[in-house]
Amino acid sequence: MLNLSKFGPMITANQPLAERMRPSNLDEFVGQTHLVGPGAVLRKAIDTGNLPSLILWGPPGTGKTTLAQLIASKLDRPFFKLSAVHSGVKDVRETIEKAKKQQFFSRPNPVLFIDEIHRFSKSQQDSLLGAVEQGIITLTGATTENPSFEVIAPLLSRCQVYILKPLSEEDLLKLIERAVRKDPYISRLKVDVRETEALLRVSGGDARKLYNALELVIASLTEKDESSEIIVTNEKVLSSIQKNLALYDKGGEQHYDIISAFIKSIRGSDPNAAVYWLARMTEGGEDPLFIARRMVILAGEVIGIANANALLMAQTCFEAVNVIGWPEARIILSEAAIYLATSPKSNSSYMAIEEAISKVKETGDLPVPLHLRNAPTKLMKNIGYGNGYKYAHDYEGNFVKDDFLPEKIRGCSFYEPGSNQREIEIRKKLSEMWKGIYNYDKPES
């Protein structure tokens, strides 16, 4: 940690860079322009003072806590904060009672911010319902997990969910530049961030990780002499982080590193490594449903059509873990992990939807061909909706070669079959069916 005591009582020696660099208003907030940029949906709600109860869902270090604090400050509302890790039903009720005492005539509701709301039990979440319904508080919950799974339906239905994205490279570079220029300590040093690739890579779109890494490398380079120029390079960043790995892994980062290693081991078809990382998670107290849910995603993304049963296995694992609980659930998790790791792999479904989304962004809202349009009214039929549509089951083999894409992108191929046995067969079939339209006449590698 950098020595900050000489800069006065407002900057303490144990205050990390991420805390020192928290923005004081929405204009200083970096990232999430789709939510808080000019004219964005959440910014409009804030500017009009018409703030609903909301859930901020996104990865660590994307600004959930900061955003909640800035919203309360901007609207001049009392701000209460609870952590789902340390707070129980009693804490919730006591906070709600405090919020009631803050209500005066037409004064807006206090904001109750609950960090990691997905860790609240059903009874804890139930204790919030009445206060939200009666307008005693405006709830702001932060979660790294899908609220559809982790927040009870009655509470979720009373909240607007806003999705935060990992910070972009542009956002992260802006944060580095701001820290070097504005941080009370770093700005007084001769810091030259000459290379940023390593800082960006270790951050993973997480502002807190970025600040931790930057602070660590600057601290290591100023140990001997604070008067000389400090040149930050990729090599120095990686060396510094390696030396301070235990410090850098504080605050839950290891949770994400290990699940990453688990996923990559399954993708790499190594059942031994997959089970090892699974054991690390189970021994570390990881939520078994979190692991099972990640395997459901992985089955679709990594294995896909190469083994369609993989998704069924992963989904069954999720349901079984939910019913059985701990510790027996570890056996089911192990079975699913080994099955997925030893399955043939294909990311063709993932690549297909990514290619299609890219084409949609490039070409915009192309019109649906008339013969594919729905024609529920006589007027629609009269102007040609549905005319010329060929019903596949009226033709031999339940197939007829027709145009199903907008004319402008006719013949565009998004799905590229993989080289596994199942998709080799699919490629052969598609090549016969769509000859002259899509090019599937590629070697079966």
Each residue's pLDDT tens digit, 278-305: 998 887 777 788 899 999 999 999 999 9
| pTM: predicted TM-score of the whole model, two decimal places | 0.55
The CATH code for residues 21-163 is: 3.40.50.300
The pLDDT value recorded for residue 442 is 62
Mean pLDDT confidence for 45-70? 88
List, in order, residues 6 or more apart from 125 with CB less than 8 Å away: 117, 151, 152, 155
The pLDDT value recorded for residue 30 is 92
Give the residue with greater pLDDT, 242 vs 101.
101
pLDDT tens digits, residue range 72-115?
888 888 888 888 777 778 888 888 888 887 766 667 788 889 98
Q: Please determine, for residue 250, whether its predicted confidence score (pLDDT) is greater than 50.
A: no
- Going from N- to C-terminal start, the domains of the chain cover 21-163, 168-248, 252-342, 364-433
- At residue 188 the predicted structure's pLDDT band, cuts being 50, 70 and 90, is confident
Mean pLDDT confidence for 12-26? 80
Q: Please determine, for residue 389, whether its predicted confidence score (pLDDT) is greater than 90.
A: no
Same CATH topology for 252-342 and 364-433: the answer is no
Are 52 and 160 in contact by the 8 Å Cβ rule? The answer is yes
Q: What percent of the chain has pLDDT over 70?
A: 91
- Average the pLDDT over each of 28-37, 132-141, 226-235, 423-432 and give the range with the smallest value: 226-235
- Half-sphere exposure (CA, 13 Å, Cβ side) for 223? 8
Q: Please determine, for residue 139, whether its predicted confidence score (pLDDT) is greater than 50.
A: yes
Give the residue with greater pLDDT, 377 vs 373.
373
Residue 112: beta bridge partners? 80, 139
- At residue 254 the predicted structure's pLDDT band, cuts being 50, 70 and 90, is low
The pLDDT value recorded for residue 373 is 82
Mean pLDDT confidence for 334-343? 95
Give the residue with greater pLDDT, 66 vs 145.
66
The pLDDT value recorded for residue 13 is 45
- At residue 237 the predicted structure's pLDDT band, cuts being 50, 70 and 90, is confident
pLDDT tens digits, residue range 214-229?
988 888 887 655 567 8
Please state the length of the chain: 445
Q: Which listed CATH number (3.50.50.60, 1.10.3720.10, 3.30.2130.10, 1.20.272.10) goes with 252-342?
A: 1.20.272.10
3-class secondary structure for the chain?
CCCCHHHCCCCCCCCCHHHHCCCCCHHHCCCCHHHHCCCCHHHHHHHHCCCCCEEEECCCCCCHHHHHHHHHHHCCCCEEEEECCCCCHHHHHHHHHHHHHCCCCCCCCCEEEEECHHHCCHHHHHHHHHHHHCCCCEEEEEECCCHHHHCCHHHHCCCEEEECCCCCHHHHHHHHHHHHHHCCCHHHCCEEECCCHHHHHHHCCCHHHHHHHHHHHHHHHCCCCCCCCEEECHHHHHHHHHHCHHHHCHHHHHHHHHHHHHHHHHHCCCHHHHHHHHHHHHHCCCCHHHHHHHHHHHHHHHHHHHHCHHHHHHHHHHHHHHHHCCCCHHHHHHHHHHHHHHCCCCCHHHHHHHHHHHHHHHHCCCCCCHHHCCCCCHHHHHCCCCCCCCCHHHCHHHCCCCCCCCHHHCCCCCCCCCCCHHHHHHHHHHHHHCCCCCCCCCCCC
Give the residue with greater pLDDT, 375 vs 392.
392
CA angle 157, 293, 145 (to 5 degrees): 45
Rounded Cα distance, 46 and 27, in Å: 13
Identify the CA nearest to 141 among candidates 126, 122, 123, 119: 119
Q: Please determine, for residue 208, whether its predicted confidence score (pLDDT) is greater than 70.
A: yes
- At residue 14 the predicted structure's pLDDT band, cuts being 50, 70 and 90, is low
The CATH code for residues 168-248 is: 1.10.8.60
Rounded Cα distance, 184 and 181, in Å: 9
CA angle 370, 376, 379 (to 5 degrees): 70
Rounded Cα distance, 150 and 120, in Å: 9
The pLDDT value recorded for residue 228 is 76
- At residue 397 the predicted structure's pLDDT band, cuts being 50, 70 and 90, is confident
- Half-sphere exposure (CA, 13 Å, Cβ side) for 274? 25
**CATH class for the region spanning 364-433:** mainly alpha
Q: Please determine, for residue 3, whether its predicted confidence score (pLDDT) is greater than 60.
A: no
Mean pLDDT confidence for 329-333? 92
The pLDDT value recorded for residue 12 is 42
- At residue 248 the predicted structure's pLDDT band, cuts being 50, 70 and 90, is very low
The pLDDT value recorded for residue 306 is 92
The pLDDT value recorded for residue 2 is 52
Are 314 and 289 in contact by the 8 Å Cβ rule? The answer is no
Average pLDDT over the chain, rounded to whole?
83
The pLDDT value recorded for residue 75 is 84
* Count of C-beta atoms within a 10 Å radius of residue 120: 26
* Cα–Cα distance list, 377 to 203, 212, 385 (Å): 55, 62, 9
Q: Please determine, for residue 17, whether its predicted confidence score (pLDDT) is greater than 50.
A: yes
The pLDDT value recorded for residue 243 is 58
Q: Please determine, for residue 343, whether its predicted confidence score (pLDDT) is greater than 90.
A: yes
Q: Please determine, for residue 365, whether its predicted confidence score (pLDDT) is greater than 90.
A: no
Phi, psi of 360 (to 5 degrees): -60, -45
The residue to which tokens 């993932």 are assigned = 350
Are 2 and 220 in contact by the 8 Å Cβ rule? The answer is no
Give the residue with greater pLDDT, 96 vs 15.
96
Q: Please determine, for residue 315, whether its predicted confidence score (pLDDT) is greater than 70.
A: yes
The pLDDT value recorded for residue 310 is 95
Q: Please determine, for residue 316, whether its predicted confidence score (pLDDT) is greater than 90.
A: yes
Rounded Cα distance, 330 and 282, in Å: 7
